[in-house]
Structure 1
Amino acid sequence: MDTVPTTASSASGPSKTRLSAAALPALAGAYVLAIELPGPVPLRLAGRMAGSLPAGRFLYCGSARGPGGLRARIARHLRRRKTLRWHVDRLTTRGRVVAVWAVPGGDECDLVAALAGLPVPVRGFGASDCTRCASHLLAWPDGVALPLGPPTLSAG
């Protein structure tokens, strides 16, 4: 799995680094967002019971097939203010994206498969139209190394 190397992050203070998707390619592909949640996030997914996702680190695997490709989709995920359109928007508006792996030409289900040993916190999350994956959201426990190589974008 080849990720795009870039140094597209810029500092916006001593403890917070703002990520920027500006250097990412406008190509179709897949990506992984590493999201830190400082506290619980209430969730209600269509057709399922309402619940809550606890504080912690999570990985969301998604695809970028529309106009602007990876650059546009990841830039949207990095914005705090946006219309809540996808399941992951509930996390990116409450938590902080701390790393991104961008894979031009990649497939989000292949990324989920590469991370198969990680726990699934919410079945069906981000995978409403997927028949291969239990979820496109995975928990990332402390101390667990990821088989993805260095992130394309990182908050430090």
Structure 2
Amino acid sequence: MLFIASVADAPATPGGYVLALRLDAPLDVRSGKNSATLPAGDYLYCGSARGSGGLRARLARHMRPQKRSHWHVDQLTAVASLLGAFVEEQGDECALNAALADLPIPIAGFGSSDCRRCAAHLRFWPDGAALPSDWENARKAAESPLSLERGAPGGA
């Protein structure tokens, strides 16, 4: 497990990732037939990058403010501040999501329309909620306070 605050630090290999996102205001989102208003706060989105360019290419796309909406998470990345990402080379988004099972799911099916194992790939991360210890260790190793803002130096 590695925590990154810059796309340049992401490996260009396949793997799983968890975006740490902050909404400063409520956001109306849709996931198939479901819709919800996500309250302001922090969220964790679990995804995978198996294509060309691997994790680096996928995270670069997520960090771009201007992009065609393709995935559910694009609704969030268009307006949220990106705090960073946890990455795991060869990792699996469902296993990463399972590690966050104690965190609430804000909208059923969000980010997991092609997944038969998970109810959603988006988790609400309430203030004070702990992350798995290896995730905290990765964040501390990166000396990151989880405060990367969109467009800040080191961001995209």
Structure with the bigger percentage of helix? 2
**1:1-57 alpha-carbon deviations (Å, 9 max, x no partner):** xx2366xxxxxxxxxxxx4311211100000011000111111222x1433211111
Aligned positions of 1:139-154 closer than 5 A? 139-147=124-132, 148-149=135-136, 150-151=138-139, 154=146
Percent same amino acid among aligned pairs? 50
TM-score normalised over the length of structure 1: 0.84
Q: Which amino acid aligns with 2:131?
A: L
Where does residue 10 of structure 1 map in the other structure? none
**1:51-90 alpha-carbon deviations (Å, 9 max, x no partner):** 3211111100000001000000011111111111110011
Where does residue 20 of structure 1 map in the other structure? 6
Runs (4 or more) in structure 1 with deviation over 6 Å come to: none
Alignment of 1:89 onto 2:74 = yes
Q: Which amino acid aligns with 2:10?
A: L
TM-score normalised over the length of structure 2: 0.84
Would the aligned equivalents of 2:35 and 2:107 in 1 still touch at CA under 8 Å? no
* Shift of residue 118, structure 1, vs aligned partner: 0.5
Q: How many pairs does the alignment contain?
A: 141
Equivalent-residue separation in structure 2 for 1:122 and 1:131 (angstroms): 16
**Could you list the runs of 5+ residues in structure 1 that have no partner in the other structure?**
7-18
Alignment of 1:67 onto 2:52 = yes
Query: In the superposition, relative to structure 1, how do residues 51 and 144 fare at CA in structure 2: closer, same or farther (>3 Å)?
Result: closer
Alignment of 1:104 onto 2:89 = yes
Cα RMSD (Å) of the superposition? 1.7
1:78 corresponds to which of 60, 63, 67 = 63
